[in-house]
Amino acid sequence: MKLSILHYVVAFIVIFSTLVFIVLFGRLPAFKGTIVGKAHILLWKTIPAKFVAIDRKLTGGKLYAASSKWADYLVNDKNWAVAIFYSTVLTVSLFFFFKDAWPRIYNPLHRLIIPMVAFQPYFYLYLSAFTDPGTITKANLARYLELFPYDDIIFYSDSAECRTCHFKKPARSKHCSVCKGCIAKNDHHCAWINNCVGYYNYRFFLGFLVSNLGVLIYGSYLTFMVLFNEYKAQHFPDGTDSAPKYYWANYRFWILLIHSRSWTATVTSLCMISTLVSPLVIAFLAQHILYIHQGMTTNESEKWSEVQWVANNGMLEVYENREDEDSSEDGSSASGSGSDSETRALHPRLQALQSARPKPENQGRKVHIYAYDDGSFNRLPPAGMVKTATVPGLYAVVNIYDRGGLFKNAKEVWFPKRV
C-alpha cells in the first residue's frame, strides 16, 4: 500500500503527542521507574549528553554553544516564539476547518456558535499576555504586603528580601527571572502567553485553557460529524435503515472515505489533531482545578509537597514564644526541655537562639520549622522561640490561603482585589 500524506500526519501526531506527554509528565513521581519515567530521563539527560559528547569531538563544542544560546533565549528571555507558534497552529487549523468542514455544516445553531467558540482562545491569549499579572514595585509594595498574611509554614514574615528587587517579598509572591520582577500570587511563568500567571491574570489563563478545550472538543465533534455524514452518503446513499447493524464501524469503508476526496483527508487530520491534543489540555485544566480546590498555586504546591514529606516523617516542628518570659532570666540554657534533648542534642546556635529574649513582634506567632534527621534545619526559629509541638502529619497543618473549598477559592481567583 502506498503511504499517503495522511499516514505521515497520523504518524507525526502520534509521535509528537507521545513526546509532549513524556516531556511534560515524565518527571512526576507516579512514573518513576516506569517506561514513561525512563523515556523522560533518556530525552532530558542521556540524549543531550550524547549530543554534547559528539559535538565536542566534531566541532569542538561550537554547535552546543550556539544551541544553548538559542535555548537560553527561548527559556530565559521574554519572547513571543511559543505564543506565535501556538497562534499559527490554531489559525492554520481554523483556516482548514472553515475551508473544508464549515461548508458541510448546515445546522444554523452550529453556524452561530462556531465563530464564537473559535474566537475565544485569541481573546483569552490576549488578556493573559497583556494583563499585568501583579508586578510588585517599591511604590505598590505596601499594598501588596497587606494582600495575604504570612503563614510561617511556606511563607515566612522574616524571610530574606528579594535579591534582585531589594524589598521584602510579600506572602505568595515569587520573583520571575524572565519577567524580571516579583509577581504577586505567582503561579508560574508561562511561555505560551509570554507572561507570568499571577494574581490578576490567573483567571484569564484559566479562560485560555477552557477556551482551547472548547475549540478542541467541539472541533473534534464537528469534524467527526461531517466525516460521518459523508461516510453515510458515500456508502449508504439509499439511507441507513436497511444497513447492517454495525454499518458505522467498517474499517475499510472509513479508509476508503478518508482517501476519497482531498477535503476528507484534511478534515480527518483536523479531527485527529483535536482529539489527540484534548487530553493534554484536560490534564492541565484538571491540575489547576485541583490547585484551586486546595487553595494553592503551582509554585506553592511544590512547597506543600516538601512540607507534606517532612510532616509525615515527624520532622515538622512548631516554635512559639515562651509562655513564661521570666524563666529566661534564670536557668535559661539549663531549662532545656528534657525529653527533646534526649532524642537530639540541640545545635549550639539553636541553643543560643532559644535562650535569647523573644522579640515583641513575634508575640503570638507560630513558626513551622523542618528539622532534618542530622539535626540541621531548613531555617532557624526566630530568637527566643521554643519548640512547642511536632506536627503529626500534613492533615494537622492548616493552609490559611484555602478560603474553604473550590467555589470560594474560585471566587477569589475570579475577583482579585484592586491593589
Query: Which residues would be at the binding site for Zn ion (CB under 5 A)?
Result: 162, 164-165, 175-176, 178-179, 182, 189, 196
Of 196 and 265, the one with the shorter C-beta distance to Zn ion is 196
For the bound state, the minimum distance from the C-beta of residue 123 to Zn ion, rounded and expressed in Å, comes to: 21
Of 176 and 227, the one with the shorter C-beta distance to Zn ion is 176
Distance CA 188, CA 151 (A): 20
Active site residue 190: yes
Rg (the chain; Cα; Å): 29
Of 147 and 165, the one with the shorter C-beta distance to Zn ion is 165
Main-chain dihedrals φ then ψ at residue 246, nearest 5 degrees: -105, 50
For the bound state, the minimum distance from the C-beta of residue 300 to Zn ion, rounded and expressed in Å, comes to: 16
Of 47 and 74, the one with the shorter C-beta distance to Zn ion is 74
Kindly give the interhelix angle for 262-294 and 5-25, rounded to the nearest 10 degrees. Answer: 10
Q: What is the number of other CB atoms lying within 10 angstroms of the CB of residue 64?
A: 17
Q: What residues form DSSP beta bridges with 136?
A: 182
Distance CA 103, CA 101 (A): 6
What cell numbers appear for 135 in the block?
Answer: 508586578
Distance CA 177, CA 171 (A): 18
For the bound state, the minimum distance from the C-beta of residue 340 to Zn ion, rounded and expressed in Å, comes to: 37
For the bound state, the minimum distance from the C-beta of residue 73 to Zn ion, rounded and expressed in Å, comes to: 15
What cell numbers appear for 18 in the block?
Answer: 507521545
- Per the listing, cell 540524549 goes with 47
What cell numbers appear for 52 in the block?
Answer: 554534547
User: Which residue in 165, 176, 179, 190 is the catalytic one?
Assistant: 190
Of 176 and 296, the one with the shorter C-beta distance to Zn ion is 176
Distance CA 204, CA 125 (A): 8
Distance CA 213, CA 190 (A): 17
For the bound state, the minimum distance from the C-beta of residue 197 to Zn ion, rounded and expressed in Å, comes to: 8
Mind telling me the catalytic residues? 190
